[in-house]
Amino acid sequence: MSYTVDEYRREVSDKKILVVGMGRSGMAAVKELHALGSTVTAQDINTVEKIDPKFITFLDREGIEYYFGSTPEHMGSFDIVVLSPGVNPNLSFLNDGRNHGVEVIGELEMAYRLSYGKFVAITGTNGKTTTTSLVGKIFEESGRKYTVVGNIGVATISKVQDSTDDEWMITEASSFQLETVSRFKPVVSAILNFTPDHLNRHGSMEAYGACKAAIGKNQTSDDYMVINYDDKACLALGDNTKARLVPFSRIEELEFGAYIDDGYIVIRDESGIVHQICSKDELKIIGNHNLENALAAAAISFFAGIDTAVIADALKKFPGVEHRIEYCGIVDGVKFYNDSKGTNVDASIIALKALERDIVLIAGGDGKAQDFTELGENLLGRVKALVLLGRDAKDIEKAARAAGFSNIYHENDMNDCVKRAHKLSESGDKVLLSPACASWDMYDNYEQRGDHFKNCVNQLLR
């Protein structure tokens, strides 16, 4: 059934809605749905002592029912369940709700239904945050009304109340968010790459890929999907969308799409006209992976209707994003880099290749059931020493030793890792935090981990 935003807002105002998971997205969903007049109930696996006390005060003041450390007994009493991205949609009480005819959707899906804005949505195993931030920068330079939301740290639903039909929602979309979409339909979507990640949640590459491909399942021939031509597994994810595929390639000249020509980022449009954007040497962000991110961002923006001169200007100004091969300072001639957002094997390999050689690598954490074989193989010739911490450090050590790398050290916390890495390095070397793992075994999120690393580096600078 098709709804206008106004019609859906009126419908939702008369619904009983359970919001599951009180992270950033869940708390925002409770507040926004309550403001729209919905009868909202909050739920989280954590007990009340572990929930933000300010949020508890809000719930009590507004008379909002909540189940913290428990689940509602009668799931059939709800009309809709809205899930935060971190919540597994196959939990038994959610299936009980489905059996009672309750619609179970994610926060991104609900935000889409309530928003007047047009969506640009960007997914992929790696590079999402950089590309989303870069597209946001391009839209800023263009003077368009826009907001950057999603997995980048701003709950999409938190921005729907004030959205307008001339606003662009530049959205970083994770597989967890796309797992629970049904009507979500961006004007421009992008799939940047596709390598193993989150297999402990999705179970297989096929299931993980299906989540990524969902970004384009409702797009029509009037829409565009920007997709990585060089990554054939990624390219295959565009097989089932009706959107016009816009490939980008760092390696090959294309008949249509974004590519490199004589050192310049160019876009060949649907009429075959080639538009030169800027020299790749003018980019401030380093590494081939960031060149791919720049190609994708240029294509997304171009097919959203932004002028090439604006795209070029923004590309040349963009400094990169926090926690992604972020330069943190130099101590005794040793440069320190924070790549805490490198939460999987492929991301860490990308960082190693960007810094090339003479690296002391700090890695480890929640391995998410990954195979670290390829990481071990990529240490050789690049990494001088490997400093490990976290729950799955031994799995990384095993892969490193199998590849013939043996200069390995274990530490209990980040401060000791930074001190050890400093002692192992000499002038001209680089110390890189790129964990190849999630942070959840030791930190709330990768930002907290990266900030701790930077604080430890700052202690050395004093």
Query: Which band of pLDDT confidence, cut at 50, 70 and 90, is reported for residue 319?
Result: confident
Do residues 273 and 165 share a domain? yes
The CATH number of the domain holding residue 47 is: 3.40.50.720
Q: How far apart are CA 62 and CA 277, in angstroms?
A: 52
Quote the mean pLDDT of the chain.
95
pLDDT-derived band at 86 (thresholds 50, 70, 90) equals confident
What's the pLDDT score for residue 199?
58
The torsion region of residue 15 among left (phi > 0), alpha (psi -120 to 50) and beta comes to beta
**Does 164 belong to an annotated binding site?**
no
Once rounded to an integer, what is the mean pLDDT over residues 3-14? 94
**End residue of a domain, out of 107, 124, 152:** 107
Pairing of strands 334-338, 326-331: antiparallel
218 is in an annotated binding site: no
Whether residues 359 and 394 fall in one domain: yes
From CA 277, how far away is CA 313, in angstroms rounded? 9
Q: Which residues of 220-247 are buried (b: 16+ CB within 10 A; e: fewer)?
A: eeebbbbbbbbbeebbebbeebebbbbb
| pLDDT surpassing 60 at residue 24 | yes
Q: What digits encode the pLDDT tens for the residues 218-256?
A: 999 999 999 999 999 999 999 999 999 999 999 999 999
Q: Residue 306 maps to which CATH number?
A: 3.40.1190.10
Are 173 and 259 within one domain? yes
Q: Is 124 annotated as a binding residue?
A: yes
The total domain count for the chain is 3
Checking if the pLDDT of 263 tops 80, the result is yes
pLDDT beyond 90 at 43: yes
Is 407 annotated as ligand-binding?
A: no
pLDDT at 284: 87
Q: Find the CATH number of the domain harbouring 428.
A: 3.90.190.20
By percentage, how much of the chain surpasses pLDDT 70? 98
**Residue 130, marked binder:** yes
Contact yes or no for 389/440 (Cβ under 8 A) = no
Residue 437 confidence (pLDDT) above 60: yes
71 marked as part of a ligand binding site: no
Give first-to-last CA distance, the chain, whole Å.
62
Are residue 102 and residue 181 in the same domain, yes or no? no
Q: For residue 246, what are the contacts with CB-CB under 8 A and spacing of at least 6? A: 224, 225, 226, 227, 256, 257, 258, 299, 303
Sequence-separated (6 or more) residues with CB below 8 Å from residue 63: none
Q: What is the pLDDT of residue 205?
A: 83
Q: How far apart are the C-alpha atoms of 385 and 446, rounded to whole Å?
A: 23
Q: Is residue 206 part of a domain?
A: yes
Q: Token digits for 37? A: 């007049």
Instruction: Determine what percent of the chain is predicted with pLDDT higher than 90.
Output: 91
Q: What is residue 265's predicted lDDT score, i.e. its pLDDT?
A: 98
Which range of residues forms the domain containing residue 337? 326-461
State whether 210 and 145 are in the same domain: yes
Q: List residues bridging with 19 in a β-sheet.
A: 42, 82
Three-state DSSP state, 309: helix
Which residue's entry shows tokens 């090959």? Answer: 252
The verdict on residue 140 lying in a domain is yes
Residue 88 assigned ligand-binding role = no
Q: Please state whether beta strands 224-228 and 244-249 pair in parallel, antiparallel, or not at all (unpaired).
A: parallel
* Tokens coding 312: 């070029």
Question: What is the pLDDT, as a whole number, of residue 177?
Answer: 95
Question: Residues 17-27: what's their mean pLDDT?
Answer: 97
Choose the final residue of a domain: 56, 81, 107. Answer: 107
Order of all β-strands in the sheet with 39-44: 65-68, 39-44, 16-20, 80-83, 103-106
Do 288 and 334 fall within a single domain? no
pLDDT digits (tens, 9 = 90+) for 389-430: 999 999 999 999 999 999 999 999 999 999 999 999 999 999
